[in-house]
């Protein structure tokens, strides 16, 4: 199973242990839509909250250095976004994640 397959499964199943193992200790998540940056602990806490529900998830490209992922994400507030994500890997873990998001009609 690839890193992105493991990551997607961990997010879907709210598997804190798997996320902790998959994300590098120096992990940084940059959300270009909002300009926010999150660290490993922030992302795991957010994932465990259940606020992130991904649908029609697909891996666009992946090798041992990067992964590109697209999904439609629904948040608890009812907002839906089409999210394109670029993951960079280090030591077989995700070291960085950058996303661009397009709001979708509810």
Distance between CA atoms of residues 39 and 101, nearest Å = 19
Q: What is the pLDDT of residues 44-90, one digit of tens each?
A: 999 999 888 999 999 999 999 999 999 999 998 999 999 999 999 99
Token duo for residue 83: 């999210």
Tokens at 105, concatenated: 């009609």
CATH code of the domain occupying 3-104: 3.10.450.50
Does 106 score more than 90 pLDDT?
no
Domain boundaries, the chain: 3-104
* Tens of pLDDT, residues 8-37: 999 999 999 999 999 999 999 998 878 899
* % of the chain beyond a pLDDT of 90: 90
């Amino acid at each position: 199973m690839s890193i992105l397959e493991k990551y997607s499964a961990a997010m879907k199943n709210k598997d804190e242990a798997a996320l902790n193992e998959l994300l590098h200790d120096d992990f940084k998540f940059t959300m270009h839509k909002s300009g926010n940056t999150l660290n490993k602990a922030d992302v795991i806490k957010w994932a465990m909250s259940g606020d992130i529900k991904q649908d029609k998830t697909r891996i666009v490209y992946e090798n041992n250095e990067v992964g590109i992922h697209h999904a439609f994400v629904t948040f608890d507030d009812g907002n839906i976004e089409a999210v394109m994500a670029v993951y960079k890997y280090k030591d077989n873990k995700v070291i960085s994640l950058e996303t661009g998001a397009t709001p979708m009609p509810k």
